[in-house]
């Protein structure tokens, strides 16, 4: 089978790999669509991110969907031919965090396409993937291209859940890459009264408006645009910070109202916080990491048509053109979500 394998920064290859046999409780999925994520781009452009570095060749990809091709013994609830979204998150279910109902914090997580452990966890950008049956969430209506958006939507749904109830609240979303754009979708679905998005590039802001944002501000070209929102200690009840940029976080704190909630979703380096402001406004700052139950929720929302994510999809490439796909996905002005098909 063909697989998309990263060897080092800018060294991406399409290789032949052996397909694994299907054991009891497993299924074989013929992968049809895989979305290129920010972590995939870090491996492609930089050979890793932070302290996580490639130490051996690794199949990329974790935003994947396809068609069930074979069932292992004892599998029920799935049939050959079913379209499925594949959950890339595989918690151990035995560590203390799994047993406490926090599987996204699993101590022995095996997440597709991750160079964190050694050996690396091979990813899903391959023609045939053998996985646990419980990882597959079937759909009736949605295409596999739509279903491949379930994983990033699940990330956004989890982040919005960390903010608490949203009906009637004004929400600020900083950073409008794919995750920030999907936070707009999740916040709108959760009942936010108003959603303001900020970025430093115009093109993703336009897509965020199509996905349900009420206002969009390019803070690079109009740095004073939010000044009026800082009046009377701020006017937004929730901020979801998706850029990982210290300046975005700092500027957002000025317009979050007292006892507002800041959800830090974007990953970056160490940042400094204005302690006096956090204390005086009694702000709650919470993190958001991956997802668990939200994956099935994301599939249900996509499959029912209750969310329309068509504005997210920029282009689709055959696996043979993986390098071109990754190059396009690396350009924020020309792409939002690029997918690879097999």
Tokens of 241: 């910070």
User: Are 238 and 252 a contacting pair, CB within 8 Å?
Assistant: no
pLDDT the model gives residue 177: 96
Tokens of 280: 């005086």
Tokens of 274: 């204005």
**Any idea of the CA torsion for 206, 193, 283, 246, to the nearest 10 degrees?**
0
User: Are 295 and 150 a contacting pair, CB within 8 Å?
Assistant: yes
Which residues on adjacent β-strands are paired with residue 49?
52
pLDDT the model gives residue 304: 97
pLDDT the model gives residue 258: 98
3-class secondary-structure state, position 223:
coil
Residue in the block written with tokens 């329309």: 308
Which residues on adjacent β-strands are paired with residue 341?
318
Distance CA 342, CA 339 (A): 10
Domains of the chain: 2-149+309-341 (3.90.180.10), 155-287 (3.40.50.720)
Distance CA 291, CA 35 (A): 17
Distance CA 100, CA 233 (A): 38
User: Are 124 and 34 a contacting pair, CB within 8 Å?
Assistant: yes
Please give the chain's pLDDT, 342 residues, in tens. Answer: 999 999 999 999 999 999 999 999 999 999 999 999 999 999 999 999 888 999 999 999 999 999 999 999 999 999 999 999 999 999 999 999 999 999 999 999 999 999 999 999 999 999 999 999 999 999 999 999 999 999 999 999 999 999 999 999 999 999 999 999 999 999 999 999 999 999 999 999 999 999 999 999 999 999 999 999 999 999 999 999 999 999 999 999 999 999 999 999 998 888 889 999 999 999 999 999 999 999 999 999 999 999 999 999 999 999 999 999 999 999 999 999 999 998
pLDDT the model gives residue 341: 95
pLDDT the model gives residue 342: 87
How many C-alpha atoms does 210 have within 13 Å on its Cβ side? 13
pLDDT the model gives residue 270: 86
3-class secondary-structure state, position 97:
helix
pLDDT the model gives residue 3: 98
3-class secondary-structure state, position 151:
helix
């Amino acid at each position: 089978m063909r697989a998309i394998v990263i060897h080092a920064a800018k060294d991406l290859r399409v290789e032949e790999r052996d397909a694994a046999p299907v054991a009891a409780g497993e299924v074989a999925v013929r992968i049809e669509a895989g979305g290129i994520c920010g972590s995939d781009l870090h491996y492609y452009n930089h050979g890793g991110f932070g302290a996580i570095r490639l130490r051996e060749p690794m199949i990329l990809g974790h935003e994947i969907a396809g068609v069930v091709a074979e069932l292992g013994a004892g599998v029920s609830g799935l049939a050959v031919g079913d379209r499925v979204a594949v959950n890339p998150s595989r918690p151990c279910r035995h560590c203390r965090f799994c047993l406490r109902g926090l599987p996204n914090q699993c101590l022995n997580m095996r997440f597709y396409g991750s160079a964190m452990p050694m050996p690396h966890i091979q990813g899903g950008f391959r023609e045939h993937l053998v996985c646990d049956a419980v990882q597959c969430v079937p759909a009736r209506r949605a295409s596999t291209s739509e279903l491949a958006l379930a994983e990033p939507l699940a990330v956004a749904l989890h982040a919005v859940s960390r903010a608490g109830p949203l009906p009637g609240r004004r929400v600020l979303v900083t950073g409008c890459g794919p995750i920030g754009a999907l936070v707009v979708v999740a916040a709108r679905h959760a009942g936010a009264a108003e959603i303001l998005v900020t970025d430093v590039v115009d093109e993703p802001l336009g897509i965020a408006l199509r996905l349900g944002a009420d206002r969009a501000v390019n803070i690079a070209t109009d740095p004073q645009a939010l000044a009026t929102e800082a009046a009377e200690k701020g006017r937004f009840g929730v901020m979801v910070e998706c850029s990982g940029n210290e300046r975005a976080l700092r500027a957002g704190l000025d317009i979050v109202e007292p006892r507002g909630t800041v959800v830090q979703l974007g990953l970056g380096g160490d940042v400094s916080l204005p302690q006096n402001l956090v204390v005086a406004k009694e702000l709650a700052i919470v993190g958001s990491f991956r997802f668990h139950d939200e994956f099935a929720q994301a599939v249900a929302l996509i499959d029912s048509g209750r969310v329309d994510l068509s504005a997210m999809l920029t282009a689709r490439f055959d696996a043979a053109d993986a390098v071109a796909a990754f190059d396009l996905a690396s350009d924020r002005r020309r792409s939002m979500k690029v997918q690879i098909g097999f």
